[in-house]
A and B are shown apart, each in its own frame.
Chain A
Amino acid sequence: MDIIKVGIPRALLYYQYYPMWESFFEKLGAEVVVSPLTNKAILNLGVTRAVADTCLPIKLFLGHVISLIDKCDYIFAPTVISLGRKAYNCSKIIGLPNMTRALIPECPVILAPEINLEKWRYHVYQNIYKLGSCFTSNPFKIKKAVEEAWKSNLAYRSKMAHEGITCPEAINRMCQTNQQLDSNCYPSPILTIAVIGHPYVLYDDYLNHRLISRLKSMGVKVLVPEMAAEEELDIAAKKMVGTPHWSFETDIVGAGEYYMEEKVDGIINLSVFGCGPDSMMVDFVKHRAREFGIPFLALSLDEHASEGGVLTRLEAFLDMIKRRNRICV
C-alpha cells in the first residue's frame, strides 16, 4: 500500500502547532508534505480566489493549499473553534475548512477535526480519534500518536520559552523542513524591542518583509510572544483586559503587557489589514503603552505594503528610541 500523504499548508496555525501535527501523522505512518515558503506566486494564487475583503493570512492559506494540490491525498486544516473556556477563535479561522472547500473546489479531501474545548473533553477526543481512524484501525496506535504529539507540542513550547528562539528556529531544530535558517552574523544588540503579533504574521518572511532579521541587523534584540512562558502571558493578559474572548489574542496582549513590565525600549505591533481581533485588542495595548510611556509602533501589512515604506518607518522608529535613550549613533 502506498504511504498516505498529508499536506500541511505553511500558513496560519502551522507556526504554532507544526511539531505536534508532524509527530502525530508520522506516528500514524503517514507522510507529511509541507507547502513551500511563501512567495509571490503563492500569494497571487490565493488572492485571486477569495473575496477582496478577506484578510491576507487567509488568502495566503488558500495559496498554500492550491500549491499542495496533486502533491498529497489529504489537506490538514483543523477547525479550531475554542481553546479555552469562553474563548473562541476568529470567525475566519473557524470557518476556514468550509471556506477552503467553497473557494477551491478542486482541493483534495480536507481533514478538519473540530477542536472545541467549550464542549466537554470527550468531544475533542472523539474528533481526534475520528481523524486518526482515517489512517489506521488500531485505536492503541492512535492513542500512542496523540500522546507523542502532545509531548512534542510541550517540548516545542518550552524550547521556545527557555532558549529564547522564534517559531521557525524551533521548528527547524525539531523537524526536518526546508525552512531557511537565519545564519547571518548580527551586530551586538543595543536596544530591546518586543515585536507582538500573530505567529503567522511574525514568521512569514514574505509577508512582513523579513522584519525580524532586519531588526536584528539594525542592532536590536527582538522579543516575540513565544519567548515568554504561556502562564506568564495568561497572567499579563488578565491584568490588561481580563480573559480575552479570542484565544490567540492572549499571546498578543499578554506579551504586550508582560514585556512592558519588563521595560523594553519599544513595542512594535505587526498586524494585517482587516484583522478583526487585532483591531480591538491592539488599541488596548496602545493605550497601556501610553500609560507606561513606552514607544509603540503599529505596522499594518497588506498585499500592497511596499518594503521601502515598512523600512522607512522602522528606521524612524528606531532613531526616535535611540534619541530618547540618548544612545549616540
Chain B
Amino acid sequence: MRLGIPHFGNVYVAVKAMARRLGATGKDIIIPPPMTQGTLDLGVKYSPTEACLPYKLTLGSLIEACELGADTLAQARGTGICRLGYYARGQEQMLRDLGYNAQFITVDISHHKIISIMQLIRNMTNNASWKEIISAFFFGIGKLAAIDKVEKVVQEIRAVEIEKGMANRMYREAIKGIDDASDSREVKRISREYIGMLRKIPKNPQADPVKVAIVGEIYVVIEPFSNMDIEIELGKLGVEVHRTMTLSRWVKYSLFLNYLGVDEWKQVHKLAKPYLDHDVGGDGWESVGEKVLYTRKGYDGLVHLAPFTCMPEIVAQNIMPSTREDIPVLTVICDEQMAKQGLLTRLEAFVDLLRFRRRR
C-alpha cells in the first residue's frame, strides 16, 4: 500500500513520523511535493468552479500524490454545516474520472475522531499491536507540538529582528531537524536548541511591534501557501502575530480533552454570544468570539482569513463590524485569484493604520 496525503500545514511531519515508527519505508508513504502554483492550477482545473480554496488545494495535492504512485489517499470527512463533509466524496469522484485508481480512506473529524484515526492506522498496518500504534501516534503529535512551540517564538522574533529573515531561516531548519529526528528525546532537544538560538537573534531595541491576531477558517489560517505566507509578510512589516489555532492545539483538544468535557473555545463562545448565539459551522463562531477576546486583551488589530464563498466566515464577516468591542479588522479572502502585490499593499496600509491609531 502506498498512502498519499494532501498537504495541510505540517501534518506531513506527523504522518511521516508515525509511518516510520510503524516500520513503513519511504515507499509506503507518499508526501506530495510542497504546494506550488502548479498544485493550485491542477486543483482549480478539476474542481467545481464555486468550490472553496481548501477543496481545490487538497485536490491538487492529491492529484500530485497520485502522480507519484499513491494508491490509497487519506482525506478528512465529517457531518458538518460547511462543505468539508463532501470533500472526500467529490474528490474521489473526480480522481476516478481522471483515471487514477486510488482508494479513498477518510478520517471522521466530527464524531469519534480519535477512534476513527486509531482504527485507520491499525487497518493500514495490518493489525499492529495497540501499544505500537499508540506510541507511534504520540511520537507524531509530539513532533507537531514541538514545531508549534518553535513557531510561537518565531512569530515574536520576526517582528523585532534586525536582519529580516533570520528567524524564518531558523524555523525552516528546525522543521527539517524535527522531521528527521528519530526519537522523542531528540525532538525535544532540537526544539529547545532552536528556541534558544532564536532568542539570541539580535533585536532592534527601538522596535515597538504592533500586535495582530490571526483568526478565520482553519485551513487557510494554518497552511501558509494558501494565505501567501501572510505571517511572514506581517513579520517583515514589524508586526507581532498571534494565532490561537494550531495543529497541536486541535489535536490536544479535539482528540483528547474534549472527551473529558474540556471545551477549549468555551470562553470565546461566551464572548461571541451577544452577537452570534450558536455554532454556524466551520470556524465562524470562533472568529466572532476571538475578535471580542483580542480586543479585550489589548491587541491592535485582527486579520481575518477566509476562503472565497466560505459560508461560516461570511456570517462572521457580516457580524464582526457590529460588535461593541472595536478594533480594526482586515478580512483577507483567499482564492486562486489572489495576488501577492495586492495583498502586500493592503497589509502595509493596514499596519500603517494600526501604528497611527496606537500613536493617538
- Co-assembled chains A and B: yes
What residue in chain B is nearest A87 (Cβ atoms)?
B79
Is A123 interfacial (CB-CB < 8 Å)? Answer: no
B:237-294 near A, CB below 8 Å: 275-282, 284
A:134-156 near B, CB below 8 Å: none
* A274-B50, A275-B50 known; A245+B311 contact, CB < 8 A: no
What residue in chain B is nearest A85 (Cβ atoms)?
B79
* Chain A residues in 8 Å Cβ range of B284: 91, 95
* Chain B residues in 8 Å Cβ range of A98: 275-277, 315, 319
CB < 8 Å neighbour of B315 from A86, A95, A284? A95
A278 to B52 CA separation, bound complex (whole angstroms): 12
**Stretch in B35-43, B82-90, B156-164, B173-181 with 4+ CB within 8 Å of A:** B82-90
Is B81 interfacial (CB-CB < 8 Å)? Answer: yes
Question: Do A284 and B93 touch (CB < 8 A)?
Answer: yes
Q: What is the 8 Å Cβ interface bit string for chain B, positions 31-66, against chain A (1 contact, 0 not)?
A: 000000000000000001111100000000000000
* Chain A residues in 8 Å Cβ range of B276: 95, 98
A81 to B281 CA separation, bound complex (whole angstroms): 10
* Chain A residues in 8 Å Cβ range of B51: 279-280
Question: Do B278 and A279 touch (CB < 8 A)?
Answer: no
Is B206 interfacial (CB-CB < 8 Å)? Answer: no
A279 to B54 CA separation, bound complex (whole angstroms): 14
* Chain A residues in 8 Å Cβ range of B80: 88, 245
Question: Do B89 and A105 touch (CB < 8 A)?
Answer: no
What residue in chain B is nearest A287 (Cβ atoms)?
B93
CB < 8 Å neighbour of B311 from A51, A276, A282? A276
A300 to B50 CA separation, bound complex (whole angstroms): 10
CB < 8 Å neighbour of B280 from A50, A54, A95? A95
* Chain A residues in 8 Å Cβ range of B309: 53, 274, 276, 279
> Could you tell me the distance in whole angstroms from the C-beta of A100 to the nearest C-beta in chain B?
9
* A91-B82, A92-B311, A281-B86 known; A99+B318 contact, CB < 8 A: yes
Question: Do A90 and B81 touch (CB < 8 A)?
Answer: yes
Is A257 interfacial (CB-CB < 8 Å)? Answer: no
Is A45 interfacial (CB-CB < 8 Å)? Answer: no
- Most chain A CB within 10 A, of B97, B310, B322, is at B322
Is A131 interfacial (CB-CB < 8 Å)? Answer: no
* A102-B319, A245-B80 known; A53+B50 contact, CB < 8 A: no
> Could you tell me the distance in whole angstroms from the C-beta of A82 to the nearest C-beta in chain B?
9
A:75-98 near B, CB below 8 Å: 79, 81, 86, 88-92, 94-95, 98
Interface magnitude class on chain B: 35 or more
> Could you tell me the distance in whole angstroms from the C-beta of A138 to the nearest C-beta in chain B?
28
A274 to B322 CA separation, bound complex (whole angstroms): 23
A50 to B314 CA separation, bound complex (whole angstroms): 10
A:256-279 near B, CB below 8 Å: 273-279
What residue in chain A is nearest B309 (Cβ atoms)?
A274
A281 to B50 CA separation, bound complex (whole angstroms): 11
* Chain A residues in 8 Å Cβ range of B318: 50-51, 54, 95, 99, 102-103
Question: Do A283 and B319 touch (CB < 8 A)?
Answer: no
Question: Do A53 and B278 touch (CB < 8 A)?
Answer: no
* Chain B residues in 8 Å Cβ range of A204: none
Question: Do A280 and B83 touch (CB < 8 A)?
Answer: yes
* Chain A residues in 8 Å Cβ range of B83: 276-277, 279-280
* Chain B residues in 8 Å Cβ range of A287: 93, 97
Question: Do B81 and A280 touch (CB < 8 A)?
Answer: no
Q: What is the 8 Å Cβ interface bit string for chain B, positions 162-206, against chain A (1 contact, 0 not)?
A: 000000000000000000000000000000000000000000000
Is B219 interfacial (CB-CB < 8 Å)? Answer: no
* Chain B residues in 8 Å Cβ range of A89: 81
Is B104 interfacial (CB-CB < 8 Å)? Answer: no
A163 to B116 CA separation, bound complex (whole angstroms): 48
* Chain B residues in 8 Å Cβ range of A51: 314, 317-318
Question: Do B314 and A92 touch (CB < 8 A)?
Answer: yes
Question: Do A102 and B333 touch (CB < 8 A)?
Answer: no
> Could you tell me the distance in whole angstroms from the C-beta of A58 to the nearest C-beta in chain B?
8
Question: Do B82 and A280 touch (CB < 8 A)?
Answer: no
Is A305 interfacial (CB-CB < 8 Å)? Answer: no
A94 to B284 CA separation, bound complex (whole angstroms): 11
> Could you tell me the distance in whole angstroms from the C-beta of B57 to the nearest C-beta in chain A?
16
Is B321 interfacial (CB-CB < 8 Å)? Answer: yes
Is B140 interfacial (CB-CB < 8 Å)? Answer: no
Q: What is the 8 Å Cβ interface bit string for chain B, positions 123-150, against chain A (1 contact, 0 not)?
A: 0000000000000000000000000000
* Chain B residues in 8 Å Cβ range of A280: 48, 51, 83, 86, 90
CB < 8 Å neighbour of A88 from B81, B90, B333? B81
* A94-B281, A102-B321 known; A279+B81 contact, CB < 8 A: no
Is B100 interfacial (CB-CB < 8 Å)? Answer: no
Is A241 interfacial (CB-CB < 8 Å)? Answer: yes
Question: Do A283 and B281 touch (CB < 8 A)?
Answer: no
* Chain B residues in 8 Å Cβ range of A300: 50
* Chain A residues in 8 Å Cβ range of B350: none
Is B312 interfacial (CB-CB < 8 Å)? Answer: yes
Question: Do B315 and A92 touch (CB < 8 A)?
Answer: yes
CB < 8 Å neighbour of B89 from A91, A241, A277? A241
| Additional A-B contact list (20), CB under 8 Å, known A88-B80, A95-B319, A102-B275 | A53-B333, A91-B280, A91-B312, A92-B315, A94-B281, A94-B315, A95-B315, A98-B276, A98-B277, A98-B315, A99-B318, A105-B322, A114-B278, A274-B309, A279-B48, A279-B50, A279-B83, A280-B90, A283-B90, A300-B50
Nearest 4 interchain pairs by C-beta: A279-B50, A95-B315, A91-B311, A102-B322
Give me 30 A-to-B residue pairs in the complex whose CB atoms sit less than 8 angstroms apart, sorted by A's number. A51-B314, A51-B317, A51-B318, A88-B80, A88-B81, A88-B281, A90-B311, A91-B311, A91-B312, A91-B314, A92-B280, A94-B81, A94-B315, A95-B280, A95-B315, A95-B319, A98-B275, A99-B315, A101-B322, A102-B321, A114-B278, A245-B81, A274-B50, A274-B309, A279-B50, A279-B51, A279-B83, A281-B86, A287-B97, A300-B50
